[in-house]
Structure 1
Amino acid sequence: MPQGNEVGCTVSIGVTLSLPQNDSMDKLLARADAALYEAKNTGRNRVVAG
């Protein structure tokens, strides 16, 4: 990369806990996905737990 050029990058992360007795993979992924979109919609560059 040539000197003097800046590259911007943002990171949004959605995380959740797995509760084996209650969760299917679909429910787990849906919660993580919802948390990810909350992170994106509330300003980016953040981690949201769902």
Structure 2
Amino acid sequence: MDKFLSIFVAVLIITSIVTIFIELFPIALKVCIISLIISGIIYIALKLIEKFSD
């Protein structure tokens, strides 16, 4: 039961931090997420090119 409670509290804290972060920095957060997605796509594309070039 204690383990479940600690997980619940951790999730609650993380959710509140994320909510505050989104409220304070919506533009910065969107830019960060977009850049992460773009870098992820580039990384996958490079890995695929590497795989096919062998």
Establish whether TM, by shorter chain, passes 0.5: no
Normalised to the residue count of structure 2, the TM-score between the two structures is 0.39
Q: Which structure's residues are more often helix, by fraction?
A: 2
Higher radius of gyration, 1 or 2: 2
Normalised to the residue count of structure 1, the TM-score between the two structures is 0.41
Q: Which has the higher contact order (CA 8 A, sep 6+)?
A: 1
Q: Which structure's residues are more often strand, by fraction?
A: 1
